Amino acid sequence: MMTIEDGWTDGAGGVDRTPGNRSRDALRAAQMYYLQDLTMNAIARELRTSRSTVSRLLSMARETGLVQIQVNNPSDRAPALEQQISRRFGVEAHVVPVADSVNDSEVLDRVAIQAARTIGPLVDSNAIVGVAWGSTLSAVSHHLTRKQTHDSTIVQLNGAGNTQTTGITYASEILRRFGQAYGARVEQFPVPAFFDHAATKTAMWEERSVRRILDLQRRMTMAIFGVGSIGAGIPSHVYSGGYLDREDLETLETDEVVGDVATMFFRADGTHRDIVLNTRSTGPELDQLCTVRRRICVVSGESKINGLRGALAAGLATDLILDEGSARRLVHS
Amino acid sequence: MMTIEDGWTDGAGGVDRTPGNRSRDALRAAQMYYLQDLTMNAIARELRTSRSTVSRLLSMARETGLVQIQVNNPSDRAPALEQQISRRFGVEAHVVPVADSVNDSEVLDRVAIQAARTIGPLVDSNAIVGVAWGSTLSAVSHHLTRKQTHDSTIVQLNGAGNTQTTGITYASEILRRFGQAYGARVEQFPVPAFFDHAATKTAMWEERSVRRILDLQRRMTMAIFGVGSIGAGIPSHVYSGGYLDREDLETLETDEVVGDVATMFFRADGTHRDIVLNTRSTGPELDQLCTVRRRICVVSGESKINGLRGALAAGLATDLILDEGSARRLVHS
DNA sequence: ACGCGCTGTGCACGTTTGTGCAATGCAGTT
DNA sequence: AACTGCATTGCACAAACGTGCACAGCGCGT
A54 & A27 share domain:
yes
* Domain final position from A43, A67, A91: A67
Same domain for A100 and A46: no
pLDDT at B132 over 90: yes
Residues B92 and B13 in one domain: no
What DSSP string describes A200-240? HHHHHTTSHHHHHHHHHHHT-SEEEE--EESSSSSPPHHHH
Report the pLDDT value the prediction gives residue B12, as an integer from 0 to 100. 34
Confidence of residue B164 (pLDDT cuts 50, 70, 90): low
Distance CA A219, CA A237 (A): 28
Q: What's the pLDDT at A261?
A: 93
pLDDT tens per residue across span B118-129: 999 899 888 999
pLDDT for res A2: 33
Residue B75 lies in a domain: no
Q: State if pTM tops 0.85.
A: no
Nearest by CB: B81 against A9, A30, A65 = A9
Buried/exposed code over B220-249 (b: 16+ C-beta within 10 A; e: otherwise): bbbbbbbbbbbebeebbbbbebebbeeeeb
For residue B6, the model assigns a pLDDT of: 32
Cross-chain CB nearest to B67 (options A6, A69, A324) = A69
Specify whether A103 is located in the same domain as A165: yes
- Are A209 and A281 within one domain? yes
Cβ(B137)–Cβ(B216) under 8 Å?
Answer: no
Rounded alpha-carbon distances, angstroms, from residue B14 to A328, B11, B35:
17, 8, 25
Residue A206 lies in a domain: yes
Is residue B316's pLDDT more than 70?
yes
Kindly tell me if the per-residue pLDDT of A13 is higher than 70: no
Distance CA A274, CA A15 (A): 70
- Going from the C-alpha of B16 to that of each of B43, B51, B59, B267, the distances in angstroms are 16, 17, 21, 64
> Which residue of A35, A113, A118, A124 is the best one to mutate when testing the B interface, meaning the one whose CB has the most B CBs within 10 A?
A35
DSSP state, residue A69 = E
Q: Identify the bridge partners of residue A155 per DSSP, sorted by sequence position.
A: A130, A187
The spacing between the Cα labelled CA in A144 and the C1' in C2, in angstroms, equals: 60
Q: What is the pLDDT of residues A225-260, one digit of tens each?
A: 999 888 655 555 666 666 777 778 888 888 888 999
pLDDT-derived band of residue B204, with 50, 70 and 90 as boundaries?
A: confident
Beta bridge partners of A38: none
Give the torsion through C-alpha atoms of A313, A319, A325, A327, to 10 deg. 50
* Cβ-Cβ contacts under 8 Å, B101 against chain A: 12, 46
Residue A48's domain spans which residues?
1-67
Residue B75 has pLDDT above 50, yes or no: yes
Question: What is the rounded CA–CA span in Å between residue A295 and residue A290?
Answer: 8
Model confidence pLDDT, tens digit, residues A30-39: 999 999 889 9
Q: Quick one: B25 and B87 in the same domain?
A: no
pLDDT above 80: residue A5:
no
Overall residue count recorded for chain B in this entry: 333
- Choose the mutation target among A2, A9, A85, A106 for the interface with B, i.e. most B CBs under 10 Å: A9
Q: Mean pLDDT across the stretch B93-111?
A: 88
Instruction: Locate the chain B residue with the closest alpha carbon to A149.
Output: B74
DSSP-derived 3-state class of residue A90: coil
CATH number of domain containing A61? 1.10.10.60
Average pLDDT over residues B234-257: 73
Question: Is position A74 within any domain?
Answer: no
**Residues B33, B40 contacting (CB under 8 angstroms):** yes
Question: What pLDDT does B64 receive?
Answer: 83
DSSP code of B58?
H
Interatomic distance A15 CA / D3 C1' (Å): 29
Tell me, yes or no, whether B247 lies in a domain: yes
The confidence score (pLDDT) of residue B13 equals 33
Q: How far apart are CA A262 and CA A238, in angstroms?
A: 9
Q: Is B96 helix (H, G, I), strand (E, B) or coil?
A: strand
Question: Do the domain assignments include residue A14?
Answer: yes
Q: Is B99 on the interface with A (CB under 8 A)?
A: yes
The residues, ordered by sequence, that sit 6+ positions from B294 with a Cβ below 8 Å of its Cβ are: B122, B221, B222, B223, B318, B319
> Please, what is the average pLDDT of chain A?
84
Lowest mean pLDDT among A128-137, B221-230, B236-245: B236-245
DSSP code at position B34: I
pLDDT tier at A295 (50, 70, 90 boundaries)?
A: very high
Q: What's the CATH number where A180 sits?
A: 3.40.50.1360
Q: Using the predicted structure, report yes or no on whether residue B165 has a pLDDT greater than 90.
A: no
Q: Please tell me whether residues B118 and B59 are part of one structural domain.
A: no
Higher pLDDT, B166 or B133: B133
Beta bridge partners of B294: B222
Which of B2, B5, B9, B73 would best serve as a mutation to test chain A binding (most A beta carbons within 10 A)?
A: B9
β B92-96/A264-267 pair status: unpaired
**Closest alpha carbon to A299 in A174, A140, A160:** A140
* Co-location of B62 and B88 in the same domain: no
Q: How does residue A12 score in pLDDT terms, banded at 50, 70 and 90?
A: very low
Q: Which of A11, A67, A97 is nearest residue B97 as measured by Cβ atoms?
A: A11
CB A140 within 8 A of CB A116: yes
Q: In whole angstroms, what is the distance from residue A3 CA to residue B155 CA?
A: 46
B193 touches A: beta carbon within 8 Å? no
On whether residue A167 sits in a domain, the answer given is yes
pLDDT at B232: 54
Within-domain flag for A73: no
The reply to whether A229 falls in a domain is yes
What is the distance in angstroms measured between the alpha-carbon CA of B52 and the sugar C1' of D22?
15
Nearest to A182 by CA among A134, A140, A125, A139: A125
Distance between the alpha carbon (CA) of B46 and the C1' atom of C8, Å: 19
For nucleotide D12, the protein residue with its alpha carbon nearest to C1' is A52
Q: How many helices (H) and strands (E) does chain B have?
A: 15, 11
Indicate the residue among B36, B67, B98 that finishes a domain: B67
Q: Is the pLDDT higher at A10 or at A144?
A: A144
Taking the C-alpha atoms of residue A99 and residue A73, their distance in angstroms, rounded to an integer, is: 19
Q: What are phi and psi of A262, to 5 degrees?
A: 50, 50
Q: What is the mean pLDDT of chain B?
A: 84
| A:B CB pairs within 8 Å | 130
Q: What's the pLDDT at A243? A: 74
| Cβ under 8 Å to B: A residues 145-164 | 148
A259 burial via Cβ count (<10 Å: 0-12, 13-18, 19+) = buried
Q: What was the pLDDT predicted at A241?
A: 61
Judgement on whether residues A326 and A226 belong to the same structural domain of the protein: yes
- Whether pLDDT at A127 is above 80: yes
A90 in the same domain as A37: no
What letter represents residue B111's amino acid? V
Q: Which H or E run includes A141?
A: helix A135-141
Q: How far apart are CA A265 and CA A229, in angstroms?
A: 10
Lowest mean pLDDT among A117-126, A174-183, B111-120, B245-254: B245-254
Do both A182 and A324 map to the same domain?
A: yes
Which 44-63 positions of B have CB less than 7 A from strand C?
Answer: 49-50, 52-53, 56
CB atoms A34 and B71 under 8 Å: yes
Residue A140: predicted pLDDT: 92
The answer to whether the beta carbons of residues A322 and A298 sit under 8 Å apart is yes
Q: Is the CB of A44 under 7 A from strand C?
A: no
Of A30, A98, A102, the CB nearest to B71: A30
From A67, A94, A124, the end of a domain falls on A67
pLDDT digits (tens, 9 = 90+) for A74-109: 766 667 888 899 999 999 999 998 888 788 888 998
Domain count for chain B, please give it.
2
Neighbours of B123 (CB within 10 A): 21
Give the mean model confidence (pLDDT) for residues A205-219: 90
A193 touches chain B (CB under 8 A): no
CB A280 within 8 A of CB A193: no
Q: Are residues A296 and A212 part of one domain? A: yes
Tell me what pLDDT residue A34 has: 92
Q: Give the list of residues 6+ apart from residue B30 with CB closer than 8 angstroms, or none.
A: A71, B57, B58, B61, B66, B67
Contact positions of strand D to protein Cβ (< 7 A): 8-12, 15-20, 26
In this predicted structure, the answer to whether residue A309 has a pLDDT above a threshold of 90 is yes
Task: Find the residue in A nearest to B149 (Cα).
Answer: A74
- Angstrom distances, CA of residue B155 to CA of B45, B48, B134, B184: 46, 45, 15, 10
Q: At what angle do helices A51-63 and A21-30 cross, to 10 degrees?
A: 90
